């Protein structure tokens, strides 16, 4: 019964025109197909596509130019899934080719993504920043410090004592401003 259900699901996926990683070996996937799967709304599909990308990069099957172009397209996409996966793919590309020009382009996109409305995109930035910091050191933080600290200044505030409320503990963490 389980086997029959799996076949039915597989047929349904094939009839939908989806090329699933589980059904095709990673060698059969083109760079465009991998990036299409990286944009998918299903987390498992995105994870499998990222693993297929890692395997293809390790085997040298994809060109640096095509991967970098598709990564930058993902970072400008409307869907948060594409931006999140694009950042993960960018980290893999930096690990593989260590292209200074590509790192500069990524670091130009990071300030916009640091304030992305989707927390998963903001979280994925850490992957790229780590790889850039390994290669470029503290200058990565120096270039982003004003964006990060400015965002904190805009969104957080400490409560101070006033006539209508008691003084707040100066060691207390900041609170969010009301929406």
Q: How does pLDDT run across 164-175, given as a tens digit for each residue?
A: 555 556 677 777
| Cβ atoms within 10 Å, residue 32 | 11
| Cβ atoms within 10 Å, residue 104 | 12
Q: Is 80 exposed, middle or buried (0-12, 13-18, 19+ CB in 10 A)?
A: middle
Q: Across 2-11, 39-48, 154-163, which has the greatest mean pLDDT?
A: 39-48
Q: Cα separation of 33 and 108, whole Å?
A: 26
**pTM to 2 decimals?**
0.71
pLDDT (mean) for 22-39: 80
What confidence category does residue 21 fall into, taking pLDDT thresholds of 50, 70 and 90? very low
Q: What sign results for the dihedral spanned by CA atoms 4, 6, 12, 15?
A: negative
Token couple for 26: 């990673």
More confident site: 40 or 146: 40
For the chain, the maximum distance between any two Cα atoms, rounded to a whole number of angstroms, is: 72
Residue 42 has pLDDT above 50, yes or no: yes
Q: pLDDT at position 58, please?
A: 94
Q: pLDDT at position 17, please?
A: 47
Task: DSSP for 116-179, please give it.
Answer: -SSHHHHHHHHHHHHHHHHHHTTHHHHHHHHHHHHHHHHHEE----BTTBPPPPTTSPPEEPP-
Identify which of 105, 36, 47, 119 has the alpha carbon closest to the alpha carbon of residue 77: 36
Residue 12 has pLDDT above 70, yes or no: no
Q: Are strands 156-157 and 175-176 parallel, antiparallel or unpaired?
A: antiparallel
Tell the residue number behind the tokens 């200074």, with chain if given. 100
More confident site: 92 or 12: 92
User: Rounded mean pLDDT of the chain?
Assistant: 82
pLDDT (mean) for 90-102: 94
| Cβ atoms within 10 Å, residue 167 | 9
What confidence category does residue 2 fall into, taking pLDDT thresholds of 50, 70 and 90? very low
Least confident of 28-37, 79-88, 109-118, 145-154: 145-154
């Amino acid at each position: 019964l389980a086997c029959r259900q799996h076949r039915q699901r597989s047929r349904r996926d094939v009839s939908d025109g989806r090329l699933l990683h589980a059904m095709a070996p990673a060698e059969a996937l083109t760079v465009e197909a991998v990036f299409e799967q990286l944009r998918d709304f299903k987390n498992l599909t995105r994870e499998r596509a990222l693993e297929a990308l890692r395997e293809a990069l390790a085997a040298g099957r994809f060109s640096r130019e095509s991967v970098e172009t598709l990564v930058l397209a993902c970072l400008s996409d409307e869907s948060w899934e594409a931006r999140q996966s694009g950042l993960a793919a960018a980290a893999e590309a930096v690990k593989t080719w260590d292209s200074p020009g590509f790192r500069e382009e990524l670091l130009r996109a990071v300030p916009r993504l640091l304030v992305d409305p989707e927390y998963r995109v903001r979280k994925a930035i850490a992957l790229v920043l780590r790889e850039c910091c390994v290669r470029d050191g503290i200058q990565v933080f120096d270039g982003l410090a004003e964006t990060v600290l400015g965002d904190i200044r805009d969104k957080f505030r400490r409560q101070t004592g006033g006539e209508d409320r008691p003084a707040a503990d100066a060691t207390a963490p900041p609170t969010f401003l009301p929406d």
